[in-house]
Amino acid sequence: MAFTTQYEPVLDGGVPRTLGGIAREVISGGQFVYCSGATGKVNISGATSLVRSDIEFAVSASGGAFTGIAMHNAASGALVVVHRAGDCIVGAYGDTTAGQPVVTNGTDGVADIDAAAWSGGNVPIGRAVTSAGSEGYTVVTIGAY
Residue 128 has pLDDT above 90, yes or no: yes
Identify whether residues 129 and 71 lie together within a single domain: no
Whole-model pTM? 0.80
Give the DSSP H or E segment for 132: none
pLDDT in tens, 72-111: 999 999 999 998 888 888 889 889 999 999 988 777 788 8
Identify whether residues 41 and 65 lie together within a single domain: yes
- Tell which residue, 122, 94, 118, 89, has the closest CA to residue 106: 122
Identify whether residues 97 and 77 lie together within a single domain: no
Domain boundary among the residues 84, 112, 130 is at 84
> What is the domain extent for residue 117?
86-142
Q: Cα 39–42–46 angle (5° rounding)?
A: 170
Give every CB contact of residue 7 below 8 A, 6+ residues apart in sequence. 29, 30, 69, 70, 71, 72, 83, 88
Highest mean pLDDT among 68-72, 123-127, 128-132: 128-132
Identify whether residues 77 and 22 lie together within a single domain: yes
